[in-house]
Structure 1
Amino acid sequence: MSTQKTAPHVGREQWTGQLGFLLAAVGSAVGLGNIWRFPGVAYENGGGAFLVPYLVALLTAGIPFLLLDYSLGHRFRGGAPTVFRRLGRRFESVGWFQVAASFIIATYYTAIIVWALRYTFFSVNLAWGEDPATFFVEDFLHDAGPTLTTDIVGGLFWPLLGVWIAALLVVGLGVSRGIEKTTKVFIPLLLVMFLILVVRALFLEGAVEGLDTFFTPNWAALGDPAVWIAAYSQIFFSLSIGFGIMITYASYLRRRANVVRVGYVAAFANSSFELLAGIGVFATLGFMAAQQGVGVGDLEGITGVILSFITFPQIISMMPGGPIFGVLFFGSLVLAGFTSLVSILQVVSAAVQEKFGLSRVQAVAAVGGLAAVISLALYSTTSSLAVLDTVDKYTNEVGVIVSAIVACVLVGVVTRQLPNLQAHLNAISTARVGTWWRVLVGYVVPLALGYVFIRGLIELVTVPYGEYPWAFVNAAGWGAVGFLVLVAVVLPLLPWRRPVDDFVPESLEGRLS
């Protein structure tokens, strides 16, 4: 019998049970991207045929990487920098790169929640009037285009401050008293609200035509590499993997936790919600097409910001009971966004708390306060729309994807930890993972993501994103990437205030296959 002992970690927070962790994981995964990104991506990439590469991407990349995050967090018991340092002192930078990505995402994610919150109230009296596009861009955002300004928009600043206060209070209360209790209320409420919305959409005139458009497969699209790239990109964007969230969340699980089974449930729950969102959105778009006397395929603005804040307000103004529908739709966006936001903030807070020996409240106040100031400075101004669009593009398609590739290569090739992580998962879970998992994480995921990254990078360096001026793109987009690198280089140079290198993971003697 091994004489090694696991280093004690007195006082580390824990979920009250696996249900709390599952709901928190689902709450993190089910976010804005499920509602406003998936339907449009599916439509643009073969309709019903897109579900084939989407399912392949889920099984070959999404679930395997999700289990990698779970295994790292649960075995090495810490936030992302702590976990990667325990893999090897020189690997701490990878964890801080992920933390920096979460920090950036939190600053603009809060702004989108504010937009949805304001539109929840705008829905009551259809405040956008006859021209939702002009209302959103000019009357609401006071958009100044692709430039950096300091002109504050009061209608953005004060709600943004309020959302930040609410989010920091939840994270400050801790894992079980704050995040877990919030998700236990918000996730069931979100599901009920969205189900009501979908059922209402299915009874609209033209709903069948909308669903035909969504589900009718264009099988020829399966031969297009861009469709497969879109599928793998969507899986990573929607599962909250690759930037420290699930590593951090899994570290709060008890020593004996059915991690593999929970991972399967969380992944399929997330994808099921995406499918539900697709049904609701396209049934609604079918109604819009019927009112305009055109085909659903002739509509524009079926993804992202345009779908939520321009196209949907148009539809809400047309339909019977539109204000109620609008409150449900935008309220769902708020709930989905908020549960994701607190998970993102927890990544940053936990990392700083462990590195600098701070209390939870001190860490939340420090990093949350800084993030709030940056968020208010950038996203309550007249330049918020273009800045948000560009920062989001580069953070996700450069930062998160690079982070995921490096993590796979580091764990699978450099440190050769995959057999240990596989044994760890199998030791604590009723559902087992086999050699297939190591093959997917070690080879398939980094190769698939490497191809996605190279294709995307070629476009980013040759064509100015969004037709914005290069000076703006470089400042906002590559500036965000530069911040990721800076944090990854500087933070590991600072000393740890608490012991981190004396940790000994649980013995796997006799469990390696």
Structure 2
Amino acid sequence: MRENWKSRKGFIFAAAGAAIGLGNLWRFPFQAYKNGGGAFLLPYFVALITCAIPLMIMEYAYGRKIRGGSVKAFSKLKKKLEIVGWIQVMVPIIVMTYYSAIIAVAVVFMVFSLGHAFGIINWLSDPGPIMGMVTGSAKNALDLGAGMSIYILIAVIVVWICNWLIVKKGISGGIEKMSMIFTPLLMVLMIIFMINAVRLKGSAIGLEALFKPDFSKILVPSIWVSAYAQVFFSTTLAVGVMIAYGSYLDDKADIVNSAIITVLANSSFDLIAGVLVFSTLGYLVSNMGVEFTSFGTGAGVAFIAFPIAISTMSTNVVIQGLLGFLFFFCLFIAGLSSSISMLESFTTAALDKFDVSREKLVSIISIVGFCGSACFASYAGFNYILDIVDAYVGNIVIAGLGLAEVILVSYIYGTSKLREEANAYSDFKVGIWWDYLLKYFTPLLLGAVVITNLFNIITELLKKDTAGVVSNIVFGWGTVIIMIIASFVFYKKKWTAKAQEVAPTLNDKKVNL
């Protein structure tokens, strides 16, 4: 018998934890900053209503109806479409390999923060040298002999052990229990840090830079594409996570409200992160005379700017260290809640098709995943290859899968049937407008995102030197090709799971979904 979530609250916390991740901390603030500030919020909220919420409802409803992950979900539409499901769950596996390396840096900095508290190492006021020591340096992505970060490698082991311990216990025994504790804790800690950041001298400068609207940009098409891309990617849609989570919902679960709460929780974290990041940067701009982008628009914000800001919160070394530990613990929680959802996405899909125990399967995936993460613990891997793989998987594969998913489910299964099932036990009902969004509006917007991203990657590739071109072909397109080949191999294997020895399609009259 298929496992179910024990409570709605547990499911919401798990789904919100899956959507909330390290990327929220810097991606939304800098997307808003460069795309019109407060004016960016209009297309952002429109994207939430017209894309994120409808797709979240669709994935929850279809996952519950199928009672399976992405592989089973697409094979039910049409047998040959099973390969789409495998490509979809390959995404979180690939993402986990480098995402775990980023979480590992948070683990390392947690330890260093405790060292700071006990007077062993004084680094929070000047984190640059420590960051350099941990991540090292390389000439380019092809400089594979540059070295390996022993700090990241050891911390990656810790991250994968945590993933393994939680996911092998299943939905109610592992993921739900962990999410009930860590997701609300993460929100509380981030709100505390946000409130403190707003109180810093110069925070108003940062908030003005983030939220002051530049309405001259609001009619620029690229701004709307950026807003949809931000909402789409930050909610963990189209990678099998929410379909898998939806498959464990009770038959009488309120799908519509659950979807709305999940999306709004994620967007709330986006806004909290925006206020936190730019209040902190405003302080640094005011007191150090640097630019808002001096610390980069990625991990540099969390690993360089925040330690400096934390060091100013108190002159007491012990308090500084403990605050640093709490902050990097927040990052660790955010990363871990997302990584376990990625691991569960593939696990659910594989358990649907193959006769294997959850513990054995999770153990195998964790070992393979750790080997992949070890590659990103190299100096070339962390500093160069990570960004290349992330760009190709995020901008080409995920966007393409989102487009394919909404078209295939909407036109083969049918939005009207799915709407009836989603509304059946929901307090808030979606109307026929939901059908039109999924059939016409959302595919057009996602199509624009896919085309824009593909165009940008190709044009950027043409500007690179020889090493850059080779790196992008090997690690970018190479990763995409490996994902497709691996998906085809799994697709060709026979269904051996006892509950699903044959994967009949929706057109098979013997199937009772």
User: Under a length normalisation based on structure 2, what TM-score does the superposition of the two structures give?
Assistant: 0.91
Change (3 A) 1:303 1:328: farther
Q: Does 1:430 align with 2:427?
A: yes
Which of 98, 103, 107 does residue 93 from structure 2 map onto?
Answer: 103
The aligned residue for residue 213 of structure 2 is 217
The equivalent residue for 2:252 is 256
Cα displacement (A) at 1:298: 5.3
Change (3 A) 1:478 1:148: farther
Asked whether 1:358 is paired with 2:352, we answer no
Q: What pairs with 1:18-417 in structure 2 (closer than 5 Å)?
A: 18-124=8-114, 125=116, 127-128=122-123, 132-136=127-131, 138-144=132-138, 145-147=140-142, 149=144, 151-293=147-289, 299-301=293-295, 303-320=297-314, 322-413=320-411, 415-417=412-414
Question: Structure 1: how far apart are the matches of 2:352 and 2:463?
Answer: 39
Instruction: Report the Cα distance in structure 1 between the residues aligned to 2:128 and 2:288, rounded to whole angstroms.
Output: 17
1:171 counterpart letter in structure 2? V
What is the alpha-carbon distance in structure 1 between the residues aligned to residue 238 and residue 355 of structure 2?
25
User: Structure 2: which amino acid aligns with 1:420?
Assistant: K
**Aligned-partner Cα distance in 1 for 2:445–2:479:** 24
TM-fit CA distance, 1:141: 1.1
Q: Which residue identity lines up with residue 240 of structure 1 in the other structure?
A: T
* Matched AA of 1:407: E
- Contact 2:90/2:483 (8 A) holds in 1: yes
- Structure 2 distance, partners of 1:19, 1:60, is 25
- Structure 2 unaligned spans of 5+: 507-513
Equivalent residue for 1:447? Answer: 444
Deviation, 1:380, is 4.5
Contact 1:390–1:465 (CA under 8 A) maintained in structure 2: no
1:103-155 deviation digits (Å, cap 9, x = unpaired): 1011111111111121223335275477544542x311122132252643211
Could you tell me how far apart the structure 1 residues matched to 2:171 and 2:312 are?
43
Is 2:79–2:503's contact at 8 Å kept on the other side of the alignment? no
The answer (yes or no) to whether the contact 2:125–2:307 under 8 Å persists in 1 is no
Per-residue CA distance 1:288-347 (angstroms, 9 max, x = gap): 1110246xx655335211212223333334453654443333221111110011000001
Moved more, 67-76 or 203-212: 203-212
Tell me the matched-pair count.
491
Matched residues in 2 for 1:493 and 1:303: separation? 42
1:15 match: secondary structure: coil
Instruction: Judge which range, 47-56 or 428-437, deviates more.
Output: 428-437
Indicate the residue corresponding to 1:510 in structure 2: none
SS in 1 for 2:424: helix
Number of the residue aligned with 1:508: none
1:430 shift after superposition? 2.0
Preserved CA contact (<8 Å) 2:72 2:82: yes
Q: Does the Cα contact within 8 Å between 2:461 and 2:468 map onto a contact in 1? A: yes
1:13 maps to what in 2? 3
Structure 2 vs 1, CA of residues 500 and 247 (structure 1 numbering), >3 Å: closer, same or farther? Answer: farther
Return 467-476 or 265-274, whichever deviates more.
467-476
**Which residue identity is paired with 2:492?**
L
Q: Give the match for residue 418 of structure 1.
A: 415
Q: Which amino acid aligns with 1:404?
A: G
Deviation per CA, 1:52-94, whole angstroms, max 9, x where unpaired? 1100111111111111111110110001101111122121111
Contact 2:124 2:307 in 1 (8 A): no
SS in 2 for 1:254: coil
Q: Is the 8 A contact 1:465 1:473 kept in 2?
A: no
Contact 2:79 2:504 in 1 (8 A): no
Give the residue type in structure 2 aligned to 1:140: V
Asked if structure 2 preserves the Cα contact closer than 8 Å seen for 1:194 and 1:328, the reply is no
CA distance in 2, matches of 1:310, 1:181: 33
Q: Deviations over 1:217-271 (max 9, x none)?
A: 1111112222111111111111110100000001011111001111111111111
Amino acid at match of 2:288: Q
Counterpart-to-counterpart distance in 1, 2:220 and 2:71:
38
Task: Assess, with a 3 A threshold, how the Cα gap between structure 1 residues 290 and 319 changes in structure 2: closer, same or farther.
Answer: farther
Contact residue 13 and residue 179 of structure 2 kept, 8 A:
yes
Q: TM-score, normalised by structure 1?
A: 0.91
1:485 aligns with 2:484: yes
8 Å Cα contact 1:170/1:342 also seen in 2: yes
Check conservation: 2:410, 2:439, Cα contact below 8 A: yes
Letter in 2 for 1:291: N
8 Å Cα contact 1:99-1:347 kept in structure 2: yes
Deviation at 1:179, TM superposition (A): 0.4
Shift in alpha-carbon separation, 1:351–1:196, aligned structure 2, 3 A? same
Q: Secondary structure at the match of 1:400?
A: helix
Root mean square deviation of aligned Cα: 2.1
**What SS does the corresponding residue of 2:36 show, helix, strand or coil?**
coil
Quote the offset at 1:169 in angstroms.
0.8
Amino acid at match of 1:308: A
8 A contact 1:399–1:484 mirrored in 2: no
Identity of counterpart residues, as a percentage? 36
Q: Write the distance in 2 (CA, Å) between the matches of 1:425 and 1:357.
A: 30
**Which has the higher mean CA deviation after the structures are superposed, 301-310 or 446-455?**
301-310
Give the gaps of 5 or more residues in structure 1.
1-9, 506-513
Which letter does structure 2 place at the counterpart of 1:493?
A: K
